[in-house]
Amino acid sequence: MSAHLTILRAGPGLTVQDLGRPGYLDMGLSRGGAVDRLALAEGAALLGQPDSLAAVEMAGTGGEFQADQDLRIALTGARMRAQINGATAVWNASHLLPAGARLSIGPAVAGSYGYLSVGGGVLGDPVLGARSAHLTAGIGALLTAGDRLAIGPDAGGATGMTFDPEDRFSGGEIRIVASFQTDLFAPDELERLQATVFRRDARANRMGVRLESDGPGFHVSGGRSVLSETIVPGDIQVTGDGTPFVLLAECQTTGGYPRIGTVLPCDLPKVAQAPAGADLRFRFVSLDEGVAAERAAAQARAALPRALRPLIRDPRSMSDLLSYQLISGAIAREEDVL
Partner 1 sequence: MQDFPIIRTAGVDGLLISFAAALSEPANRAALAFRAALEAEGWAGVEETSSSLVSAFVRFDPLRLTHAALHQQVQALLDQRDWYAADLPGGRRFWRVPTVFGTDLAPQLGQAAQAAGLSEAEAIRSLSQARVRVQTIGFAPGQPYLGELPPAWDIPRQKELTPRVPEGALAVALRQLVLFSVTTPTGWQHVGQTAIRLFQPDVPEPFLLRPGDEVQFTTTDTETLARMRSDPRGGASCEALA
Contact status: 295 vs partner 1 (CB under 8 A)? yes
The yes or no reply on residue 216 touching partner 1 (CB under 8 A) is no
Nearer to partner 1, 214 or 288 (CB): 288
Question: Does 291 sit near partner 1 (CB under 8 A)?
Answer: yes
**Considering CB under 8 A, how many residues would be counted as binding partner 1?**
45
CA distance 70 to 325: 10
Q: Which is nearer to partner 1, 49 or 182 (CB)?
A: 182
CA atoms within 13 A on the CB side of 296: 10
Site membership for partner 1, residue 126 (CB under 8 A):
no
* Minimum distance of partner 1 from residue 258's CB (angstroms): 12
Per rule CB under 8 A, is residue 15 in the interface with partner 1? no
The DSSP code sequence of 278-327 is -EEEEEE--HHHHHHHHHHHHHHHHTGGGG-EE----GGG-TTGGG----
Give the Å distances, CA to CA, from 204 to 119, 222, 229.
30, 27, 23
At residue 46's C-alpha, the angle toward residues 106 and 131, to 5°, is: 70
Beta strands 102-118; 259-263: pairing state = unpaired
Nearer to partner 1, 28 or 50 (CB): 28
Residue 23 binds partner 1 (CB under 8 A) = yes
DSSP result, 157-209: ---SEE------SS-EEEEEE--TTGGGS-HHHHHHHHH--EEEEEEE-SSEE
Q: Verify binding: residue 300, partner 1, rule CB under 8 A.
A: no
DSSP-assigned letter for residue 32: -
Identified binder of partner 1 from the candidate list 188, 214, 216, 287, rule CB under 8 A? 287
Query: Could you give the string, one character per residue 176-205, with x where binding to partner 1 holds by CB under 8 A and - elsewhere?
Result: -xxxx-------------------------
Residue 303 as a binder of partner 1 (CB under 8 A): the answer is no
Q: Are 289 and 297 in contact (CB under 8 A)?
A: no
Stretch that binds partner 1, among 45-53, 76-84, 257-265, 271-279 (CB under 8 A): 257-265
- Among the listed residues 8, 87, 90, 139, the single contact to partner 1 using CB under 8 A: 139
Give residues in contact with partner 1 (CB under 8 A): 22-29, 31, 127-128, 136-139, 177-180, 224-225, 227-230, 232, 234-235, 239-241, 252-256, 262, 264-265, 287, 290-291, 294-295, 298
